[in-house]
Every structure is written in structure tokens, then in C-alpha cells.
Amino acid sequence: MSSEREKMAAGEWYCCLGDELDALRVKARFAVHQHNTLPPDERGSIGPLLGKLLKSAAASAFIEAPFHCSYGLNISLGERVYLNAGCTILDSGRVEIGAGSMLGPGVHIYCADHHRDITLRRQGIERARSVLIGKDVWIGGGIILPGVTIGDGAIVGAGSVVTKSVAPGDIVVGNPARSTRHK
């Protein structure tokens, strides 16, 4: 029998309301609180508790305050990754952000895919879908939905809602985000 955390990590349907996952979210809240309230000269590029919580973060990665995440343990940040103020990563799934990528203010990344059946959704049934952001990506602001991959060198215009994967080097804008390339 798999735990809800194991099911979450495997991308299976799981219940997000149990004690094990709640304890992990509480731990993340303390790390985020420390990051968001420490003076910048004490916080450094990433608050100490948050740095320990993340799956991985290059020494040159930088997260502005305020920042929020669900668990932290599913987030990987490459070299020179920059997250501007107000970024939120709901990381029930794996979130990887490649080297040199920049996220503008207020970028939200969502991994939770809630069940469509209302009875199951009321019971906290969801699945985690990874969000993968390549190298040298610029996200001006907006929302990245579960299961999206953004290819190397792509640009996401401010205010966009990215519902589908973005090809390397493409520029997408709008709600839903669409390529600016003429077909």
C-alpha cells in the first residue's frame, strides 16, 4: 500500500488532506515565513530553511520575497535562476527551472490537477503533474498550469495563462497563451 506522499510523487491520484502531507506543508510554511521576513542581508539569495527544503538550488539561484510554495521539496533551480517578488510554486509535482531562467513578478506555477468528479474533489483527491521550464526562459508574469513544459529560450508574455507546452525558442502571449509566430 502506497502512502499519499508516494502516490503524489508517482503522479497517481492521492488525497491531499492527510496528516503526512499536511506536516510537509507546515514545514514549508515555516521555511517560507523565514525567507519572507528575514532582512535581505541575513536571508541571502534564499532563506536558510527554504534552501534546505528545496530539492536542489544552485548557489547562484535567487528568490525575491515574498515567495510561497506548497512543499518546496519538489523544486529544483538551476544556475542563475531568478524568481522575482510574489512568485508562487504549488509544487505537489516536480518543478524544474533551468539555468539562466527568469520569472517575473507574480508568476504562479501550479502542479495540482484536482479531480473532475465533485465527490472525489470534495475528498481532496488530486494528482500532481510536473512543470518543467528549460534553460534561459523568460516568463514575464502569469500562470503556468499542471503538466506544462516550456522549452529552452522560450518567452512567456506578462499576464499569460500557459495551458499547453511551449516549444523551445517560441514566444507565447495571452489567455490561453498562444504562439506569436505566424503559421
Grouped pLDDT means (10 residues each) for the chain, 183 residues:
92 96 98 97 96 98 98 98 98 98 98 97 97 98 97 97 98 95 63
SS3 content of the chain, % helix, strand, coil (to 5): 20, 30, 50
Residue type, 125: I
- CB distance 62 to 81 below 8 Å: yes
Q: So what's the pLDDT on residue 116? A: 96
CB crowding 67-93: b at 16 or more within 10 Å, else e: bbbbbbbbbbbbebbbbbebbbbbbbb
Which of 68, 114, 115, 182 is labelled catalytic? Answer: 114
Rounded-to-integer distance, Cα 119 and Cα 1, Å: 23
State if pTM tops 0.75. yes
Judge whether 33 counts as a catalytic residue. Answer: no
User: What is residue 181's predicted lDDT score, i.e. its pLDDT?
Assistant: 81
